[in-house]
Amino acid sequence: MKPHRSPLGLALLGLTAALSLPPGTWAADRADLARPEPAPLPFPLVARFENFGEKDGLPSHKIHCVLKASDGRLWLGTGNGLCVRGADGRFRRYGPEDGLSHPAVLSIAEDPRTGDLWIATMRGLSRLSGGRFTSFTQTDSGLPNNVVYGVAVVDGTVWAATPAGAGAYNIREKSWKIYDHNNAPMEEPWCYAIAPGRDVVYIGVWAGGIVEHDPRLGSFKAYRDPDGDFQFQLTPDSGPIADITSWVAYDDGILWQATYFGLSRYDTQEATWRTWVQDKTPLVSNFINSVFARGHVAWVSTDRGACVTDGTTWATYAVDEQGRGLVRIDRPGGAPETRRMATRLADGFVTAIWADDHEAWFATSNGLSHAVFANQAAVAANP
Amino acid sequence: MTPRRIALRAAQVVIAAAAVALAGGFTARTHQRIMTGRPNLAVTTCTHCHLRSAFKLPWQKPRPHHDSPGGIAVSPDGRTLYIALDDKDEVAEADSATLAVIRMARVPGGPFGLALDAQGKRLFVACPQQDRVAVLDTRDLAEVASIGVGVRPTDVVYCQTRDGERLVVPNSGSDDISILTLSPLAELARVAAGREPYAAAVLDGGRRVAVANRMATHDQMLTAPASEVTVLDPASSRVLDRLALDSAHLAEGIAAVPGKGWVLNSMVRVRNLVPITQVKDGWVMASGLAISRADGQVTQVPLDEANAYFPDPSGIVASPDGRRAFVASGGSDVVTVVDLDRLGSWLAGSSAADRDDAILDMALSCRYVVARIPTGCDPRHLALSPDGRRLYVAERLDDSVLVVDTASLKPLGRIVLGDGGRDDPIRQGERVFTRARYTFQGGFSCRSCHPDGHVDGLSYDFDGSGVGDNLLANRSLCGVAGTEPFKWNGKNPTLQFQDGPRFARVLMRTDPIPDPQLDELATFLVNLPPTRTMPWSQVGKGLTPAQQSGRALFFATKRTDGTPIPRALRCQTCHRPPLYTNRLISSVGTQSPRDPKEGFDTPHLIGVGAVGPYLHDGRAKTLEEIWTVYQHDDLHGVSSYWSKEQLNDLVEFLKTL
Does residue B515 surpass a pLDDT of 60? yes
Given pLDDT bands bounded at 50, 70 and 90, which one contains residue B465? Answer: low
DSSP letter at B322 equals: S
Which strands form A272-276's sheet, in the order they lie side by side?
A: A245-251, A254-259, A262-267, A272-276
Given pLDDT bands bounded at 50, 70 and 90, which one contains residue A10? Answer: very low
The CATH code of domain A8-381 reads 2.130.10.10
Question: What is chain B's mean pLDDT, rounded?
Answer: 92
Least confident residue range of A318-322, A337-341, B286-290, B592-596: B592-596
Rounded Cα distance, A37 and A43, in Å: 15
Given pLDDT bands bounded at 50, 70 and 90, which one contains residue A23? Answer: very low
Q: For residue range B83-124, list pLDDT tens digits in order.
A: 999 999 999 999 999 999 999 999 999 999 999 999 999 999
Among A100, A101, A113, A180, the strongest candidate for a mutation testing the B interface, having the largest count of B CBs within 10 A, is A113
Given pLDDT bands bounded at 50, 70 and 90, which one contains residue A30? Answer: very low
Q: For residue range B369-393, list pLDDT tens digits in order.
A: 999 999 999 999 999 999 999 999 9
Share of chain A above pLDDT 90, in %: 80
Least confident residue range of A14-23, A24-33, A96-105, B89-98: A14-23
Contact B242 A129 (CB under 8 A): yes
Residue B191 near chain A (CB below 8 Å): yes
Contact A139 B624 (CB under 8 A): yes
Residue A181 near chain B (CB below 8 Å): no
Does residue B655 surpass a pLDDT of 80? yes
Q: Residues of B numbered 62-121 whose beta carbons fall under 8 angstroms of chain A's beta carbons: which are they?
A: none
Contact B190 A178 (CB under 8 A): no
If one compares A286 and B48, the residue with the highest pLDDT of the two is A286
* B229 beta partners: B212, B243
Q: Which residues of A60-84 are buried (b: 16+ CB within 10 A; e: fewer)?
A: bbbbbbbbbbeeeebbbbbbbbbbb
Q: For residue range B407-450, list pLDDT tens digits in order.
A: 999 999 999 999 999 999 999 999 999 999 888 888 889 999 99
Contacts of B230 in chain A (CB under 8 A): 130
Taking one residue from A and the other from B, the number of pairs with CB-CB distance under 8 angstroms is 81
Given pLDDT bands bounded at 50, 70 and 90, which one contains residue A15? Answer: very low
Contacts of B237 in chain A (CB under 8 A): 113-115
Q: Minimal Cα–Cα distance from A119 to chain B, Å?
A: 16
Contact A131 B644 (CB under 8 A): no
Residue A173 near chain B (CB below 8 Å): yes
Q: Where are the domains of chain A?
A: 8-381
Residue A114 near chain B (CB below 8 Å): yes
Residue A97 near chain B (CB below 8 Å): no
Does residue A382 surpass a pLDDT of 50? no
If one compares B492 and B377, the residue with the highest pLDDT of the two is B377
Q: What is the pLDDT of residue A234?
A: 79
Rounded Cα distance, A220 and A240, in Å: 16
Q: For residue range B321-345, list pLDDT tens digits in order.
A: 999 999 999 999 999 999 999 999 9
Residue A130 near chain B (CB below 8 Å): yes
Residue B645 near chain A (CB below 8 Å): yes
Does residue A22 surpass a pLDDT of 50? no
Rounded Cα distance, B341 and B339, in Å: 6
Contact B629 A164 (CB under 8 A): no
Rounded Cα distance, B232 and A326, in Å: 46
Residue B499 near chain A (CB below 8 Å): no
Query: Taking CA atoms, what residue in A is nearest to B234?
Result: A114
Residue B231 near chain A (CB below 8 Å): yes
Q: For residue range A96-137, list pLDDT tens digits in order.
A: 999 999 999 999 999 999 999 999 999 999 999 999 999 999
Contact A178 B645 (CB under 8 A): yes
- Start-to-end Cα distance in chain B: 62
Structural domains of chain B ordered from first start: 28-60+531-654 (1.10.760), 254-424 (2.130.10.10)
Does residue A312 surpass a pLDDT of 60? yes
Q: Left if phi > 0, otherwise alpha if psi is -120 to 50, otherwise beta: which for A239? A: left
Spatial neighbors of B25 by CB under 8 A, at least 6 apart, are none
Least confident residue range of A373-382, B184-193, B321-330, B363-372: A373-382
Given pLDDT bands bounded at 50, 70 and 90, which one contains residue A376? Answer: very low
Q: For residue range A175-224, list pLDDT tens digits in order.
A: 999 999 999 999 889 999 999 999 999 999 998 999 999 999 999 999 99
**SS3 string of chain A?**
CCCECCCHHHHHHHCCCCCCCCCCCCCCCHHHHCCCCCCCCCCCEEEEEEEECHHHCCCCCCEEEEEECCCCCEEEEECCEEEEECCCCCEEEECHHHCCCCCCEEEEEECCCCCCEEEEECCEEEEEECCEEEEECCCCCCCCCCCCCEEEEECCEEEEEECCEEEEEECCCCEEEEECCCCCCCCCCCEEEEEECCCCEEEEECCCEEEEEECCCCEEEEECCCCCCCCCCCCCCCCCCCCCEEEEEEECCEEEEEECCEEEEEECCCCEEEEECCCCCCCCCCCEEEEEEECCEEEEEECCEEEEECCCCEEEEEECCCCCEEEEEECCCCCCEEEEECCCCCCCCEEEEEECCCEEEEEECCEEEEEEEECHHHHHHCC
C-beta of residue A14 within 8 angstroms of C-beta of residue A287: yes
Contacts of A171 in chain B (CB under 8 A): 190, 192
Contact A142 B546 (CB under 8 A): no
Q: For residue range A164-185, list pLDDT tens digits in order.
A: 999 999 999 999 999 999 999 9
Residue A72 near chain B (CB below 8 Å): no
Q: How many CA atoms lie within 13 A of B143 on its CB side?
A: 19
Q: Out of B241, B621, B629, name the one closest to residue A131 (CB).
A: B241
Q: Is B327 helix (H, G, I), strand (E, B) or coil?
A: strand
Does residue A378 surpass a pLDDT of 50? no
Mean pLDDT of A350-374: 95
Rounded Cα distance, A36 and A38, in Å: 6
Query: Taking CA atoms, what residue in B is nearest to A155?
Result: B189
Q: Minimal Cα–Cα distance from B127 to chain A, Å?
A: 18
